Amino acid sequence: MPVSEIAEQITASVAERDIALERFEAARRESEALTANLTPEDQSIQSMPDVSPTKWHLAHTTWFFETFILIRFDPNYRVFDPGFAYLFNSYYEAAGPRHPRPERGLLSRPAVDVVAAYRDHVGAAMARFAEEASEDVWRDAAPLIELGGYHEQQHQELILMDIKHVFSINPLLPAYQAPRLHVRGQAPVLGWLDFPGGLVEIGHRGSAFSFDNETPRHKVWLEPFRLATRPVSCGEYLGFIEDGGYQKPEFWLSDGWATVCQEGWEAPLYWHREDGEWSVFTLSGRCRLNPFEPICHVSFYEADAFTKWAGKRLPTEAEWEIAAAGVPVDGNFADRRHFHPRADCATTPNGNEPVLCQMFGDVWEWTASPYLPYPRFRAAAGAVGEYNGKFMCNQMVLRGGAAVTPASHVRATYRNFFPPSARWAFAGLRLAEDLG
């Protein structure tokens, strides 16, 4: 090989490593920025089994890099604390036994400052690794470093979801951040966009990053359908509540109705009524309900019951993806620091033509689709094969990202998933109906 070609290859490799390291460090900095205002006491609480303490998230994302990159690929790496593997393994059977999830809030140790030292230790080791790894080792490790960055972004959203729940059960109702100047906005008139259906393709394609659950790309048959131009608003959902929606079993799936009765649900999570006035708890404390904001913190059961009451249905994930395919991935994401859905979608670039608003950001949108493997799906080999595939049962797919999702995390093909009774995610819905 000519010397000039070798030099080119070396330059390309150095540039690739620099980019990978910069992405890694940016993800790490963002986690630390999001948690900078939380006290050690805030960071230690687990308010329900689904919630993890903030410091657990910070340590677990670090364990991911330590376990799947440094221990595996760097023979010179020195483990920070051998006991952490048991505490901060989330659900990887192949990575050994682990501390029970509902007991993460019982861990007063390691303290927050020790977790910070753990992060620094792994961060420095990753920088060294990026500089010193051989070409062969780097080639195998690079996809896992990229996965680790996206994994950390997922936990950034969980940090915000979880601290909101932690603060919501404190009678002082602490605010995660000061209220932000908020333009009240109005929800535009609900319009409809028609889609012809037919044989379409969904799923990720190309060489850019995606999670394995977005692949393989495959064909789906769709009947003609319509999709609402914006998510359902709080005001519209209030109509369902005031019409006795939570007291009428005819709108509910059997499991949903059983959950309503068992849990005593009368409104979405974080809604509160006092003297006839509704308020909602947000990451900026309690606020008066804005009827124009997208509805948030409803379970799949509530989303589905609302559609029955409205005489519509939820879109399938394939319908949602086809509709979103031409929509720019832009919106009210975590980077804007509102951390709450907004009612600011009033623009119609095509004059009076209906356009899809808020497909991305604000609220995750429940779909009618169960979370299943796509045809011919194969989980990755090794421990990271446990990342998505083993959860493909008893959960429903959500699309589009929310006000607590990092902007660079989401795509039209991105599949989020939660059990149908989960309400602490920033989840709302958009209506669909059959056409023709």
The nearest distance, CB 384 to Fe ion, in angstroms, is 11
The nearest distance, CB 396 to Fe ion, in angstroms, is 20
- CB-nearer residue toward Fe ion: 280 or 384: 384
Task: Please name the amino acid found at residue 396.
Answer: M
Alpha carbon 339 to chain centroid distance?
Answer: 13
Cα(221)–Cα(197) distance, integer angstroms: 7
**Cα dist. 327→12, 248, 331 in Å?**
33, 37, 11
Neighbours of 100 (CB within 10 A): 8
For residues 175 and 280, is the Cβ–Cβ distance under 8 A? no
- CB-nearer residue toward Fe ion: 67 or 233: 67
The nearest distance, CB 151 to Fe ion, in angstroms, is 6
Alpha carbon 242 to chain centroid distance?
Answer: 30
The nearest distance, CB 332 to Fe ion, in angstroms, is 25
When computed from its CA atoms, the radius of gyration of the chain, rounded to whole angstroms, is 23
For residues 218 and 376, is the Cβ–Cβ distance under 8 A? yes
The nearest distance, CB 91 to Fe ion, in angstroms, is 8
Give SS3 for 396: strand
The nearest distance, CB 257 to Fe ion, in angstroms, is 33
- CB-nearer residue toward Fe ion: 96 or 179: 96
Q: Which of 252, 342, 236 is nearest to 300 (CA)?
A: 252
Minimal CB distance residue for Fe ion: 90
Q: Which of 56, 71, 87, 81 is nearest to 155 (CA)?
A: 56
Alpha-helical regions (H) of 36-70? 54-65
The nearest distance, CB 33 to Fe ion, in angstroms, is 19
- CB-nearer residue toward Fe ion: 90 or 416: 90
Alpha carbon 387 to chain centroid distance?
Answer: 14
- CB-nearer residue toward Fe ion: 90 or 210: 90
- CB-nearer residue toward Fe ion: 85 or 137: 85
Alpha carbon 114 to chain centroid distance?
Answer: 27
Tokens (6 digits) for 88: 């901060």
Cα(230)–Cα(189) distance, integer angstroms: 9
Residues that bind Fe ion (CB under 5 A): 90
- CB-nearer residue toward Fe ion: 222 or 380: 380
The nearest distance, CB 372 to Fe ion, in angstroms, is 21
- CB-nearer residue toward Fe ion: 166 or 384: 384
